[in-house]
Amino acid sequence: MKILLVRPPRIKQAITVSNFMFSEPLGLEMIYGVFTKNHTVEIFDMMIEKMSIEDKISDFKPDMIGITSLCIDVLKVIDLCEKIKKCDEKIITFTGGTQALLSPESFFHPCIDYVFNYTTEDNLLKFLKMEKNIEGVYQRQNAFKDVFPKGKNQYLLPDRKSTKKYRSYYSYFGYRPAAIMEYGLGCENRCSFCLRWRIEGYKEVEIDKDITIPDLENIEEDTIMFIDNDFLASRQKLEGFLEIIRELDLKKNYIIYGSVKGVLENQDLLGEFASLGLKAILIGYETFKDEELEIYNKNISTLSNLKASKLLKSLNIDVWASFMAHPDWDKEDFVNFRKYIKKLKPQITTINPLTPFPGLPLYEEYKDRLLYKADDYEKWSFGQMIIRPSKISIRSYYYQLMITYLYVNLFINSNTDMLKKYGPSNVFRIATGAIKASKNYIRLMIKGG
Ligand code: B12
Ligand code: SF4
């Protein structure tokens, strides 16, 4: 059988992330790894490809097409499936990915044959045998009424060769090319605005070494970004990882997501990690107000954020900080916010308006102030306001966001330092992303939201 695995094209609303970080479709590489043993499989990354799906179908002649999805991709996925069925009704269409896990019903559509709510090696193999009832999979032939126990995605060994022709495009902030992988799943922190512990569970579980070690050996890129929700979840986890890279004698650049608590508790191990290649930590400092950190259930304070930032500076580890603009901020708050960023002085700063996804406690709290419906999928991009501001107009709010972005890029980021570390082409890419993000806010400001 011939199987095409597709990542849908980027949509405009994804600006906030797409220019700063653009990673490989890890989920599709895992599916590829299972299917390729007995079938002819190809990954078609439409975030890079210029060719249309129609031309790809006439070129590759697939029997099945599987599409991965995030929240903002829903309309694109449906559109692609309509086009596929128009080309050839016999082609089997199936979807999976984060959106199919969180809201499978968004894909219950006449052009989609199967929706993988969660994905395991077992259900992928049963799907290939076209079994009638498969755990984790909704089927159109059953009117999408399938009933099965709740489940989680299984972390499988990705086949990195499957994206060989695209790999030079994949990047993470200052590093290109960069691979992504995961060492541990879940997150015990359970912040109230965050989806990630809902996707992977609220217990930190280490991935089997039989996957981690060969995967580390397979990655050819010099830079690996670990997408673990909190790489610093425990000393034991960190010690285990350092032991592996020491034994494998890997010489790589590492980038991780880490919590402030993890930074403060593991100063000694972070020093060692830095000497083995740790270059940057993505940290959610979130806000300059302690009361908001409490509402977010972050278990940190603005003071601990400052301590962590000093400590990381002393270890020469870059901080790529993310913040969430709260909808109740007024002009004065934005001024204080900018002062706080100046004190923390991260190497890179991203700011997103608070976006509480459906199903999260904060969604319920702000339900009456939402500017968009839960199924206005493309709006839930982190790039625009979702909650109506309470103290200033939407237009002034976007103005403040834009000013903050410009302030950060002109006065906080040390461009000479970035040039030295990342090289001109990467700095140019990041600067283009920042300009696009500012332009996005100008557009939204003019529209008044
Ligand atoms: C890496 C990453 C990215 C990468 C690549 C994502 C991709 N899949 O293409 C990049 C940087 C491009 C990216 C971009 C964005 N991202 Co992102 N990203 C992540 C991150 C950190 C990890 C995702 C991942 O690779 N997980 C590991 C893989 C193995 O899991 P998986 O893809 O789900 O795959 C498993 C199954 O789902 C299955 N599967 C996957 N695809 C398919 C397809 C088929 C057919 C089948 C059968 C099965 C299957 O196979 C795997 C088996 O275990 C998550 C956070 C997190 N920890 O989840 C956020 C996350 C997924 N991103 C998110 C968002 C919002 C975005 C952006 C919209 C942000 C923005 N404003 O730009 C953009 C959207 C890009 C676009 N479509 O235009 C949100 C998703 C919210 C939602 N409800 O969907 C998350 C959860 C982060 C968050 N803060 O909440 N992202
Ligand atoms: S630590 Fe990060 S990944 Fe974990 S729940 Fe909080 S925001 Fe989400």
- pLDDT for the residue 61: 98
Q: Whose CA is nearest to atom 8 of ligand 2?
A: 194
> Among 192, 193, 229, which residue has the most ligand 2 atoms within 8 Å of its CB, making it the best to mutate?
229
Q: Where are the domains of the chain?
A: 2-142, 169-447
Residue 28 has pLDDT above 60, yes or no: yes
- Give the closest residue (by CA) to ligand 1 atom 90: 195
Name the superfamily (CATH) of residues 2-142. Answer: Cobalamin-binding domain (3.40.50.280)
What's the pLDDT score for residue 445? 78
Q: State the DSSP string of 198-237.
A: HHH-SS-EEPPHHHHHHHHHH--SSEEEE--S-TTS-HHH
pLDDT tens sequence across 75-115: 999 999 999 999 999 999 999 999 999 999 999 999 999 99
d(CA 18, ligand 2 centre) in Å: 21
110-153 pLDDT tens trace: 999 999 999 999 999 999 999 999 999 999 999 999 999 999 99
Percent of the chain past pLDDT 90, that is, above it, reads: 82
Q: What is the mean pLDDT of residues 439-443?
A: 79
What would the pLDDT profile of 60-79 be if each residue is shown by its tens digit?
Answer: 999 999 999 999 999 999 99
Q: Given its phi and psi angles, is residue 322 left (phi above 0), alpha (psi -120 to 50 degrees) or beta?
A: beta
Please choose, from the candidates 229, 183, 174, 191, the residue with its C-alpha nearest in 3D space to the C-alpha of residue 427. Answer: 174
Residues within a 6 A CB radius of ligand 1: 7, 10-11, 14, 16-18, 21-23, 25-28, 30-31, 66-68, 70-73, 94-99, 101-102, 116, 119, 153-156, 180, 195-196, 199, 227, 229, 357, 381-383
Residue closest by Cα to atom 3 of ligand 2? 229
Q: Give the distance (Å) from ligand 1 centre to CA of residue 410.
A: 31
pLDDT over 90 (residue 412) = no
Q: Is the CB of 195 under 6 A from ligand 2?
A: no
Confidence of residue 15 (pLDDT cuts 50, 70, 90): low
Instruction: Identify the pLDDT of residue 36.
Output: 97
User: What 3-state class would DSSP assign to 103?
Assistant: coil
| Res. 55: pLDDT tops 90 | yes
Q: What are phi and psi of 353, to 5 degrees?
A: -65, 145
Q: Is 281 in the pocket of ligand 2 (CB under 6 A)?
A: no
pLDDT value, residue 150:
93
Q: Could you write out the DSSP letters of every residue in 294-321? A: HHTT----HHHHHHHHHHHHHTT-EEEE
pLDDT at 426 over 90: no
What was the pLDDT predicted at 323? 97
| pLDDT tens by residue, 181-211 | 999 999 998 899 999 988 999 999 999 999 9
Residue 19 scores a pLDDT above 70: no
Residue 380 has pLDDT above 60, yes or no: yes
Residue 175 to residue 415: CA distance in whole angstroms: 15
Mean pLDDT rounded to a whole number for the chain: 93
* Mean pLDDT of all residues in 258-284: 97
Domain 169-447 architecture: Alpha-Beta Horseshoe (3.80)
Q: What is the pLDDT of residue 111?
A: 98
Q: What is the pLDDT of residue 24?
A: 97
Q: Are strands 223-226 and 253-257 parallel, antiparallel or unpaired?
A: parallel
In the numeric block, the tokens 């509402």 are attached to: 295
Q: What is the pLDDT of residue 18?
A: 61
pLDDT score of 17 more than 70: no
What's the confidence (pLDDT) of residue 409? 77
CA gap 183, 158 in Å, rounded: 13
Q: What percent of the chain has pLDDT over 70?
A: 98
Of the residues 34, 94, 98, which should be mutated to test ligand 1's pocket, given the most ligand atoms within 8 Å of the CB?
Answer: 98
Model pLDDT, residue 449: 57
Mean per-residue pLDDT for 360-375?
A: 92
The atom number, within ligand 2, closest to the CA of 259 reads 1
